[in-house]
Amino acid sequence: MDYIAEIQAAILNVHGCNAKYVETVPVVEEFQGQTIWEGEVEVFETTDHPKAKRIYAWGHATGENDQARRYLCVLELPPVTSPQTAVKAAIVAEIKHAKSKSR
């Protein structure tokens, strides 16, 4: 299965909707002058989600020896309105999740 098909399968699994690939957008997210995330975000359209018309998604290697892949799928719902804001929302969610685990 190719990368786009894997992401489409992840979107179907996570959000229960089909997704049509639109484009790939490069994103660089910086904080206090440092690059904290850099990669490509895949943009998809969906017609069968009750609220979102677009979904932003990307994958990255994870696990021991980077043998597994993790996919992030972010719906275009305010405040998420672009690939850039999808990345920001995912970073914030990761930070909140990490903080809740450390308590």
Q: What is the pTM of this model?
A: 0.89
Inter-CA distances, 28 with 7, 31, 39, 90, Å: 20, 10, 7, 13
Half-sphere exposure of 95 (CA within 13 A, CB side): 7
Q: Tell me, what amino acid is at 5? A: A
Tokens of 58: 């990307």
Tens-digit pLDDT string for the chain (103 aa): 699 999 999 999 999 999 999 999 999 999 899 999 999 999 999 999 999 999 999 998 776 776 778 899 999 999 999 999 999 999 999 888 888 877 6
